[in-house]
Amino acid sequence: MNKKETSNPKVVRKQNHEAKKMNTSEDSKKKKDKNLPWWVEFLFVQIGLPDNLLIKILRAKKKSKEIIDNDKKSLITFLFLIAMLAYFYPVIKHAKNKLDCEAIAKNYIIKHKNINRLNKRELKMLSTNFCYGGEEIYEIKNLKN
């Protein structure tokens, strides 16, 4: 009679464990053999920057990833506000320049043209016209009352 060969389960487990142990050491060697990112290779290997700078950069990178993961909503709100300010800044600057030009033109008209009979609306109209390239100001004669 042929007896079936039975294997000891403890021996099989031990062999599997040893095989897995060997695989993990090979995996760790593979991880160590990965190529460095181009910027690390260039800055720290080729140029020779100090290693503590690399450590600080990697810590900052890790912290920034954590902040981005934890505070996405507030970060998106902040970026939206910055984009909105950048979008409207030229409009605000143009309006400010226009108001400044009108104030300077009013002062010019009052000082140099000696006009006392113009009311505020006409003065504003003339100053606005002057700021946008109009030449009505030059056609006004110096009137002395």
Strands (E), 45-119: none
Which tokens hold the place of 107? 């002062």
Q: Which residue has the higher pLDDT, 119 or 115?
A: 119
pLDDT per residue as tens digits for the range 40-62: 888 888 898 898 999 999 999 99
**CA angle at residue 96 from 90 to 102, to 5 degrees?**
135
Asked whether the predicted pLDDT for residue 120 surpasses 50, the reply is yes
Residue with tokens 């050491």: 25
Under 8 Å between Cβ of 109 and 126? yes
C-alpha torsion 57→48→28→58, nearest 10: 0
Location of structure tokens 């950048």: 86
Cα–Cα dist 35/53, whole Å: 20
Q: What residue type is assigned to position 131 of the chain? A: C
pLDDT tens digits along 83-117: 999 999 999 999 999 999 999 988 888 887 767 66
For 23, the token pair is: 């695989």
Q: How far apart are CA 15 and CA 25, in angstroms?
A: 16
The domain segmentation of the chain, as residue ranges, is: 8-70, 72-145
Percent of the chain at pLDDT above 90? 31
Running DSSP on this structure, what letter comes out for residue 97? H
Which residues lie below 8 Å from residue 42, measured CB to CB, with a gap of 6+?
A: none
- Report the predicted TM-score, pTM, of the whole model to 2 decimal places: 0.46
Band (143; pLDDT cuts 50, 70, 90): very low
Identify the band that residue 130 occupies on the pLDDT scale cut at 50, 70 and 90: confident
Residues sharing a CB contact under 8 Å with residue 99, sequence separation 6 or more, in sequence order? none
